[in-house]
Chain A
Amino acid sequence: MALSTIGTNQIASGAVTVPKVADQVLSNRNIVINGAMNVSQRTGAAVADMGGSAGYINLDRFRYEASGTAGRFTTTQTAVSDLPGFLNCLHLDCTTADTSIAASEILALEHRIEGQNLQQLKKGTSSAESVTVSFYMKTNAAFVFMCVLNDFDNNRVNTQKFTTTTDWTRHSITFVGDTTGALGDDSGNSLSVSIYLHAGSNYTGGTYVANTWQSRAASDNMIAPGIGSFYSSTNNDVKLTGLQMEIGTSATPFEHEDFGTTLAKCQRYFFRFQSDTAYDAFAPAYWLVTTQVYAMYEFPVTMRDQPAMTVSSFTSGDWRIHSNGGDGNLGSLIINRCTPNNVQTFSDQSSNTGTAGYAGAIRNYGSTSPYIEFSAEL
């Protein structure tokens, strides 16, 4: 048959598989947010001496689970120049080794996902879907690490080892569907995809069973048996990008997304008002009475829940109410009312009174990099 005569009717429906077309026409495949590691509202710069406690440090939506170890690392959003199509990666550089591994030690990278965004997995039903996790990783030497799906709603895990190389390697790991344990259809933390980089016997003392959903009810010791340790040497570093989790038994090409779309998705969980010039204004404000200033902060997207508010620093004179021809020191900056769309702050001005009814603005005073950030992370 001449090529010019092949049309839709000549192509068997089964011959066109998802991997052959996904990069062109199928969107919203990737359940992971910021998998290309492009958004870092907190900072893209190096953050040193990490590993002592858990939390979100630099790249949006990526959390470190860390405790119990003397090992330390620096984490950075690092530019990528040797993996076409990707500009950034999450980079961990071991700065303090820990070769005496106590039982409770742990270091894992974790991406937590809301239950209402996972209902397509049909978890806990007879129709439960397989999911495939894929990512690019590059390390200074070969390591065995563990990729884990962790179901927080039902206390269940599924684990699979993989081996890294010194070149960018795309790892594709398919997890069977789980017919036990439905995920909550809500905004809570239902499931994470994690990579375990270091662990003590509380996590490694059990038996490794690949690609099998297991209960964590009695122990976590099945989560990471047989893995290597990122903290084995200060020579060690790990680079990760292109993280994708999708329905199905094979990895499709990474779903690249425009920056604004990814940023908005990230801002559902975290948003920072970042000053870049001294005296920048942050929020409109008003004197309700002579001893109280209130201010309103509107978020660019509806956040997952009522967010916590953190201020870059709060020593006397850092923050001012700019009003009535001058600046007055804020006595405090506290959440008074809160919704997923906005926050009203309260400032006690007993020691620095003003005039009731005057309007103004909350602004920093004389510093170029202060911020007020709001977190509704999982």
Chain B
Amino acid sequence: MKIENAKYHALDGDNTKPNTSITCVIDGKLTSVPISEGNADCIEIMRQVAAGTLTIEDAD
């Protein structure tokens, strides 16, 4: 799975609040991934982050 341009979204667009999703491009498609331990895309994003092959930009 090719994941690019990952960036956190904070609740209500307010970066003083918790991050709730990650916006990224997965296999060429713009995708919004919830931060959920059970979501397969989120699991893969975190696996790639742990492997050092993906970084996630902070929320605006």
Residues of A that sit less than 8 Å from B by CB: 53-55, 187-189, 292, 304-311, 313-314, 332-338, 345-346, 348, 375-378
Contact = CB atoms under 8 A, between A and B. Distances in A.
B60 to A, nearest CB: 8
Nearest to A333: B32
Interface residues of B, number: 23
B32 A308 contact: yes
A376 B32 contact: no
Interface in B2-58: 2, 9, 11-13, 20-21, 23, 26-27, 29-34, 36, 38-42
A338 B40 contact: no
A58 B9 CA distance: 30
A346 B9 CA distance: 9
9 contacts: A53-B1, A55-B1, A308-B32, A334-B21, A336-B12, A348-B13, A376-B39, A377-B40, A378-B40
B51 to A, nearest CB: 15
Given A333-B32, A336-B21, A346-B9, A308 B41 contact: yes
A338 B20 contact: yes
Contacts of A333: 32
Contact of B38 (A54, A187, A292, A313): A187
B13 A309 contact: no
B50 to A, nearest CB: 19
Contacts of A292: 12-13
A146 B29 CA distance: 32
A308 B34 contact: yes
Nearest to B36: A306
A309 B1 contact: no
A338 B21 contact: yes
A222 to B, nearest CB: 24
A364 B26 CA distance: 22
Contacts of A314: 30
Given A310-B26, A375-B41, A335 B33 contact: yes
B34 A335 contact: yes
A115 B15 CA distance: 37
A310 B12 contact: no
Nearest to B1: A53
Given A336-B9, A346-B12, A308 B31 contact: yes
A188 B20 contact: no
A307 B39 contact: yes
Nearest to A315: B30
